[in-house]
Structure 1
Amino acid sequence: MNTASDSLPANMPLLCIADISVRWRDLDAFNHVNNSTYLTYLEEARVQWLQRIPGRWASEHAVPVMVASELNYRLPIEWPGQLRVELTCARQGNSSMTIAHRIVDASGDKLYCDGHVVMVWMDPTTGKSVPLPQAVRDAASG
């Protein structure tokens, strides 16, 4: 069994811990959460984090887009269930940040998924990357 006994890395600033309930509609034909729904859980945690940032994290000329994702599926998630999604900042670049994630059960005993996503801030009118907003940079620095 995969356990979540390893705590979040101390060298990565904690961004967010989001509590999420497993919904009946998240299940697939095998009666566990569909693999694509893990991305939805991660998206929800990122949105919760962004909404808590003091200051502007997006504007008319700077919006975040996901450009890469890596998910390591460790255990199937079953219904009913309460999850905890943990996000940390693994790396900040000029216009991007790598957000490490873990999906664990509410008690933190079972590790369901880990990995990371890369977010890039871009200008939607040009499609080109732009520097991270200062509010994001500050919030991701711990």
Structure 2
Amino acid sequence: MTGQEIPENDDRTATTRPDGPESTVPQGHVEPVFAHFDDLDAMGFVHNSRYAVFLEHALTAFWARQGFTFTDGAYSRPDVFLAVAEFAVSYRAPIRGIGEVGVHFWITRLTGSTAEYAFRVLSADGRTVHAEGRRVHVRIDPGTLRPTPWTPEFHTVAKTLL
């Protein structure tokens, strides 16, 4: 497998920095994550289940920097209480070993209580798409466990990912 090369005219293509994944994108955000030895399968490829974890780590790091955290059993903001309603991933090229990769994500749809993310797991140089997919979050009311609208604070940050 050679991987899916990103065409130069792809509207998701971004400039790359020499020491890591792409850092500037026209939409969304790229968060660097590290593939560790224990992420590998018996063939030395990153195991398919780890791509979901890479996205989880990337989203958690991004939102934590915006003040949306979970610490000592408490949510910093009500929007942190959410459920993943859907997750889909398509694998394009294996990650063959340890090292930094980039998780590029952006919000494709934002409704009252739902945020749909698209994502790509990229090589360290930002040129190869290892996987791509989507994940849907639903904000949940902790008391009723029913969907509830996002707060204005969430919308302010989410708009930077649209």
In the superposition, the TM-score normalised over structure 2's length comes to 0.77
Match of 2:64 among 51, 69, 73: 51
Residue identity matched to 1:36: S
Kept in 2, the 8 Å contact 1:75–1:113? The answer is yes
Counting matched residue pairs gives 139
Equivalent residue for 1:89?
107
Q: Describe the SS at the equivalent of 2:49.
A: helix
The sequence identity of aligned pairs, in percent, is: 24
Offset of 1:64 from its aligned partner? 1.9
Pair 1:64-2:66 in alignment: no
CA, structure 1 residues 124+54, in 2 after alignment: closer, same or farther (shift >3 Å)? closer
Q: Which residue number corresponds to residue 24 of structure 1?
A: 37
Please give the residue correspondences for 1:1-142 in structure 2 after superposition, counting only pairs within 5 Å.
1=2, 2-5=4-7, 6-8=10-12, 13-14=27-28, 16-53=29-66, 58-59=77-78, 63-142=81-160
TM-score w.r.t. structure 1 length? 0.87
Aligned partner letter, 1:58? R
- Unpaired runs of 5+ residues, structure 1, are none
Aligned mates of 1:107, 1:25 — CA distance in 2: 22
- The alignment partner of 1:35 has SS state of coil
Deviation at 1:30, TM superposition (A): 2.0
Q: CA deviation at 1:81?
A: 2.6
Structure 2: gaps (5+ residues):
14-25, 70-75
Equivalent AA in structure 1 for residue 85 of structure 2: V
Higher relative contact order structure (alpha carbons within 8 Å, sequence separation ≥ 6): 1
1:51 aligned partner, one-letter code: A
Q: Deviations over 1:42-74 (max 9, x none)?
A: 000110121122578732x86122110110110
